[in-house]
Chains A and B, each alone.
Chain A
Amino acid sequence: DQQVKQNSPSLSVQEGRISILNCDYTNSMFDYFLWYKKYPAEGPTFLISISSIKDKNEDGRFTVFLNKSAKHLSLHIVPSQPGDSAVYFCAASALGDTDKLIFGTGTRLQVFP
């Protein structure tokens, strides 16, 4: 049972435009969410996070939005750059079970010139 879902396996965006990556979750106990970025042949690296007490967190070109009622979060990248081409994973941890970080299936973003 996939508790964290990324329904779009891939996304292609032109350089300079906005990239929107989506993530849905089913566990209402999740209260902390993270996005990781992964290049080929490398381990994932942390990108940005958000606590359930917020609905938005911004870091430079990256903004994460959280809609708790819809159990949905999204990552916006503006403007998109070719170096952003990677696989993006969303992840969540639950209140009372913070040891475990549950990842989604990933979305491959390609930014073309």
Chain B
Amino acid sequence: DAGITQSPRYKITETGRQVTLMCHQTWSHSYMFWYRQDLGHGLRLIYYSAAADITDKGEVPDGYVVSRSKTENFPLTLESATRSQTSVYFCASRVKTVSGELFFGEGSRLTVL
């Protein structure tokens, strides 16, 4: 199906482990984003990408790594997960326009024990 999909939808891991959250979009949108949603903080931007091989930091990038070798994929890696990274993670994409309507995936709920 067309759209933006995230996997896994749910993940439980332990402190110190590496975790990768996958994001795939079928629209060929130039821009892709990773947000985390936490109570009291709303949605905070982690990283974003304007095109393949172009990434940039958002508001809360520490502890995360991204890559974008293909336009349609934008994985987010937690190299050594910490409890503070327990959150719901949303991937989003949009076309290359100034008025940025984002299209979000359904989210990945990550619990770090």
A interface residues (Cβ-Cβ under 8 A, vs B):
4, 6, 32, 34, 36, 41-46, 49, 51, 89, 91, 93, 98-106
Contacts and interface: CB of A to CB of B under 8 A. Distances in A.
A24 B33 CA distance: 24
B104 A32 contact: no
B85 to A, nearest CB: 18
Interface stretch (B39-47, B66-74, B75-83): B39-47
Nearest to B98: A98
Contacts of B41: 105
A44 B90 contact: yes
A103 B101 contact: no
B100 to A, nearest CB: 5
A100 B99 contact: no
- Interface residue tally of chain B, by bracket? 20 to 34
B14 to A, nearest CB: 25
A89 B42 contact: yes
A4 B43 CA distance: 11
A43 B43 CA distance: 11
A43 B93 CA distance: 12
Interface string B18-46: 00000000000001010100001111110
A24 B106 CA distance: 27
B92 interface: yes
A66 B58 CA distance: 26
A32 B106 contact: no
Nearest to B33: A101
Contacts of B4: 43
Contacts of A4: 42
B50 interface: yes
